[in-house]
Chain A
Amino acid sequence: DTEVTQTPKHLVMGMTNKKSLKCEQHMGHRAMYWYKQKAKKPPELMFVYSYEKLSINESVPSRFSPECPNSSLLNLHLHALQPEDSALYLCASSQESSQPYEQYFGPGTRLTVT
């Protein structure tokens, strides 16, 4: 099973709202990732968690706050977003982050900020 699940599938939020995106994998992977994808562009890396510790933050604004409660779960907390944050948010996982293992992606959350 190479499945990564994400909820919700769609999310519409105002600029003053607080919401969370959730991601789950049961492949025993120890690395998990958040990506942002704008239309017709490749995904852009936001955060990397390795063994439940944040190892990369690609200078993402603080209105995005990641959390890794355990090895299977990854959250992205959203607060005071801007309309330009509207995008597809993809979660991914891999066996480890220190070796070039393939990454498996979830179906994404389509976020619209109004």
Chain B
Amino acid sequence: GNSVTQMEGPVTLSEEAFLTINCTYTATGYPSLFWYVQYPGEGLQLLLKATKADDKGSNKGFEATYRKETTSFHLEKGSVQVSDSAVYFCALISRGYGNNRLAFGKGNQVVVIP
């Protein structure tokens, strides 16, 4: 089946620091990969996506590259702001798996300190 693994534990860093959140996956078929962000008290927002190997998704200074050889989709941002404090979920949908089931990672709480 499909599964997504995110690094354990919250991430705490200072403003303007470099952010990396690791995401690896296992999937049947040809997955599309996503990062969603959830700000406190809100729903999930699609942050970026990649639909095939070597695609780079980017949005709001965040980037992630679809690496088929390492089955990874790590999220990066070069200089975080306090407003980036949120929970980040890596997710995938596998083509051919049917019915568009999103498989989520456990999520990472990111706290940016001024």
Contacts and interface: CB of A to CB of B under 8 A. Distances in A.
Interface in B96-114: 97-102, 104-107, 109
B46 interface: yes
Dominant secondary structure at the B interface:
strand
Nearest to A106: B43
Give the bracket for the number of chain B residues in contact with chain A: 20 to 34
B44 A94 contact: no
Given A42-B107, A100-B94, A94 B43 contact: no
B101 A45 contact: yes
A108 B100 contact: no
Interface of A: 2, 4, 6, 31, 40-43, 45, 48, 50, 55-56, 88, 90, 92, 94, 96-108
29 contacts: A40-B87, A40-B107, A40-B109, A41-B106, A42-B89, A42-B91, A43-B102, A45-B101, A48-B100, A56-B101, A90-B44, A92-B44, A94-B100, A96-B100, A97-B100, A98-B98, A98-B99, A100-B31, A100-B100, A101-B32, A101-B100, A102-B34, A103-B100, A104-B46, A106-B43, A107-B42, A107-B43, A108-B42, A108-B43
